[in-house]
Structure 1
Amino acid sequence: MTGREGGKKKPLKAPKKEGKELDEEDMKFKQQQKEQQKKMDEMKAKAAGKGPLATGGIKKSGKK
């Protein structure tokens, strides 16, 4: 018996997917996503200087 006989067999590699062609709709969609990401980054940078937003809630003291 060799060491490779028992246990799981190694799965075969899947063939590589070919790059699909992008039409105008896909290009517009990708451009729109990039613009939204830029806006989000700008808003995050703007909000970073302000105080914490989601740190509220019930604070428990150490005493019981």
Structure 2
Amino acid sequence: MSGCKGGKKKPLKQPKKQAKEMDKEDKVFKQKQKEEQKKLEELKAKAVGKGPLATVGIKKPGKK
């Protein structure tokens, strides 16, 4: 009684997703996202060059 009862079953093939057409609003939205991403990248590059903002750590009481 040998057979292929155990093991994983092959998943059914899914139909390919059709490329939906973009409206003008979608195009504007995508363009806006790209611009925001570029701004964030520029800000990150500037921030890396400056170093840490807060250099003051935990204040320990000193002896007088």
TM-score by length of 1: 0.72
Unaligned regions of 5+ residues in structure 2, if any? 59-64
Structure 1 match to 2:62: none
Which structure 1 residue ranges, 4+ long, deviate > 2 Å from structure 2?
A: none
Secondary structure of 1:49's counterpart equals: helix
The answer for the alignment partner of 1:25 in structure 2 is 25
1:42 and 1:26 map into 2 onto residues whose CA distance is: 25
Matches within 5 A, 1:18-57: 18-52=18-52
- SS state at 2:50 partner: coil
Identical pairs, percent: 68
One-letter amino acid of the structure 2 residue matched with residue 37 of structure 1: Q
Point out the structure with max Rg over C-alpha: 2
Q: Which amino acid aligns with 1:12?
A: L
CA RMSD of aligned residues (A): 2.3
TM-score, structure 2 length as denominator? 0.72
